[in-house]
Amino acid sequence: MIRHNPPGRGHRYRDSLDQRIPFHPIADQTVELRVLAAPELSSMVVEVARLDDAVEKAMTPLGGTDTGRASRSVVSGHLAAAAEAGEDAEGLTPWAVVVGPFPVEEAVRYRFVDRMTGESTRWWSFVPASWGKVGGRLKVLGVPDDRLVQGSVSWMTAGPVADNDTRGAVTGSLRARFALRLAEHEHVVGLGERYHALDQRGWSVDAEVFEQYCSQGKRTYLPVPFAHVVGGEGWGFHVDTTRRVWFDVGVTDQDLLWFDVAVATAEPDVTLRPWAGDTATVLAGLP
């Protein structure tokens, strides 16, 4: 038995032992492929095919020889790997391998084989995604969008998989990215219930519901893509979405607030609502 589930089990903050990392590979970046295999399968390899080129690469049990990102998350042995991942491996051994990077718009197919027994999986496929200026529309409603950094809007898109594999990566537009300017003395307050800091400037956080019933650091079970910006003239913003949003609040660029918004492939438009004024004025403008 060899088990591979490209999207994983859906845990936002813990990679699964049998998934593809990332699920949507990015062009010119490496990809980690993981499987769970029966204990008697001891010679796991991955076969990777693209265009007229095919390669084979040996896999490594998690917790063994360095496998990059995989081995750094475990202590030792496959049982430790399962415990760290927070999942039941059901007696199977986790294996991992890092492949790529791959060019954009070049279909990649891969499968897993045990060389000792000949047991293999079906083929999976994906096309590496890339960031570009085409893919959707950012709509800024409300006050003039002079805070929007011109040229910062981009879209992550992925082409169709080679074999129309519905279990492969979703294609089309996947995410939108854009930046707003922050003045030197402005502070960002909000983005839902947060315990790590009142001022989110200098932090990277996301709007994703998560509950461990304990101190979660930057994670929260009550995220909201809304915040007040105080310390200057005063303004606020809201992203009209129920999907995940990542915020880089002056981390990469100290004078910029970066938004990274997951979008629906069929309707990739993103709506941003900024308001000018003090906190009462901003709250009054909420729809």
pLDDT on residue 271:
94
pLDDT on residue 69:
36
**CA separation for the pair 216, 200 (Å, rounded):** 16
**CA separation for the pair 132, 156 (Å, rounded):** 7
pTM above 0.75, yes or no: yes
Encode pLDDT of 135-162 as tens digits. 999 999 976 668 899 899 999 998 765 4
pLDDT on residue 180:
96
**Domain span(s) for CATH 2.60.40.1760 in the chain:** 130-284
pLDDT on residue 229:
96
User: Burial, 259: exposed, middle or buried (Cβ in 10 Å; 0-12, 13-18, 19+)?
Assistant: buried
pLDDT on residue 161:
56
Fold assignment, 130-284: Immunoglobulin-like (2.60.40)
**Domain span(s) for CATH 2.60.40.10 in the chain:** 2-126
pLDDT on residue 160:
64
Spans of the chain below 70 pLDDT: 63-86, 143-145, 160-171
For 2-126, CATH gives 2.60.40.10
pLDDT on residue 164:
45
pLDDT on residue 212:
74
